[in-house]
Amino acid sequence: MRARKKRNNTVLLSVFVLLLAAVFFVAGFYSGRSSAPEGTAAERLCTVAYYIDGELYRSEQVSAGSVPQGVGYPLLDGQRVLAWLDGNGREARVEDLKVYSDLRYTAVTAPLLAAQPGYFPHTEEVFRPDAPLSRAEAAEILCVLLGHPEEEMEPEEAPALRDVDENAGAFRSVCYLVSRGLMDAPNGMFSPEESFSEEGFAALLSPFFRRDDIAAAVGRVAGVGADTVSRAEAAVTLNALLGLDEEERELYLPDVQPGYWAERDVLLAAQGGGKRRDEGFCNIDGYLYAIQSDGYALKNGYIGSLFFDQNGRYTSGSQELDGYVADAIREYTDPGMEREEMLRAMYLHVRDDFTYLRRNYYQVSDIGWAMKEALTMYSTGRGNCYCYAAAFWAAARGLGYDATVVSGTIGSERSPHGWVIISMDGEHYVFDVEIEMAYHRDGQTHIDVYKIEHRAAIGQWLYVEAYAYNQSVPREEEMGFALR
């Protein structure tokens, strides 16, 4: 019994030794294969090929299990590589992947934007650095950087856009980008004045630059200001993406003071500047600026009751009204006019180019109606005495006159009425556009109610500026006026 048990143990030991020897043999065999001089996995070479527009751009030989050198994201003639796609159409970071077989990568390309200073369109001599960048402005910028391809677009290629005027400066740029799918216009609505969030601006740039580069460039201005991307922030971002960090430009823009946080980027991006402005009020492209002694515009401050915003531009508080007034000043005045000549031109415009229409009347000494009625007049072209007064009030303030509208009565009948008072050289003057319009309409063209000395106007026309009049009675269009 003991002998048989001993024999069994010997057999088991022999089997164990044989199995152990087999394991070492197999391990040695594969170890030997890995160090074999030829045809082994460690030294097997793989080909990595890079294709652009269907043609081989470059290839490299890589040992299996190694990381390829890659070719980066080259800039080519007229285009840049944004990404590399693998055989499954997925984006790959080639330089981070180990290779075990032959591979082919295909480039995603985009138009190469021209890296040139002065690509940022702006109005006349100002940049408005802190104003939000609008979609229409962005379209103009992109087309400048693309080399103005919109100029070659045939009229039949233009998409139907319901909210972009065909006469607008950005119209062709907007049409080109929308027709190429580079900007959207759902249901024909482009929203030209809409601004961008940082994410929205990054999305706009994504067809032209790599995501990592965009994120880094946008990160330079993230959190600088409001949620919307300003024109200055757009310039900083685009300069970084275009590689325009080195060039210096000497330009004078009255709304970009020395020391402004993005001064260098704005001057680099701006298309051009103007001659240095003298101290005082000036209208640039129809908008009012107050130039200080250093040659730069007053910002975020008042002169009298005229407020100048963060871009140095006077504002009534209504962007819509400011736009109407600026359009009218551009059309009916000339840059060579003296300021009072411009005031007279705007008075005549309001007198002659609008139509009387019976509308709301106000209590004597009522306030707060001027902006509403000015918008009514400029948007419809029709209105009553309050509308006429408000339209001229808005225009006068847009020229730098601290004008006031008055709600009172006129004439011996004490008819409810509105007019304008402006102080000049220490004197108060009455301007009554609607009264003059009414008399001229009736053939009495000798009547002149432009700049009447205040006391004389009260005596002649019986103006009452603060009469306790509780009933607001509409004055008929044909009602006459009692003169003394």
pLDDT at 4 over 50: no
439-478 pLDDT per residue, tens? 999 999 999 999 999 999 999 899 988 533 333 333 333 3
Please answer whether residues 164 and 258 qualify as being in contact, where contact means their C-beta atoms are separated by less than 8 angstroms. no
SS3 409: strand
User: Is pLDDT at 246 greater than 80 in this prediction?
Assistant: no
Specify the length of the chain in residues: 484
pLDDT in tens, 124-160: 689 999 999 999 999 999 999 999 999 888 888 889 9
Confidence of residue 121 (pLDDT cuts 50, 70, 90): confident
CB 438 within 8 A of CB 445: no
Give residue 483's pLDDT. Answer: 32
User: Among 368, 412, 408, 409, which Cα is nearest to 390's?
Assistant: 368
Give residue-wise pLDDT tens across range 259-292.
999 999 999 999 878 889 999 999 999 999 999 9
Q: Lowest mean pLDDT: which of 111-125, 132-146, 319-333?
A: 111-125
The Cα 109–Cα 84 span in angstroms is: 9
**Strand runs (DSSP E) across 369-414, as ranges?**
382-383, 404-410
Amino acid at 46: C
Tally of helices (H runs) and strands (E runs) in the chain: 13, 17
Please state the pTM of the whole predicted model. 0.79
Tell me the backbone φ, ψ of residue 199, rounded to 5 degrees: -65, -40
CB burial readout 452-468, b (16+ within 10 A) else e: bebeebeeebbbbeeee
Furthest-apart CA atoms within the chain: distance in Å: 152
Within 13 Å and on the Cβ side, how many CA atoms surround 359? 19
166 has a pLDDT exceeding 80: yes
How confident is the prediction for the chain on average, in pLDDT? 86
Lowest-pLDDT range of 3-7, 81-85, 407-411: 3-7
Most confident of 47-56, 110-119, 124-133: 47-56
Lookup: tokens for 218: 């946008």
What distance in Å separates the CA atoms of residue 309 and residue 307, rounded to the nearest whole number?
Answer: 6
What are the two backbone dihedrals, phi and then psi, of residue 442, each rounded to the nearest 5 degrees?
-90, 10
Closest CA to 273 of 295, 288, 305: 295
- Written as six digits, the tokens of 41 are 């996995």
Highest mean pLDDT among 33-47, 223-237, 367-381: 367-381
Average pLDDT over residues 117-129: 85
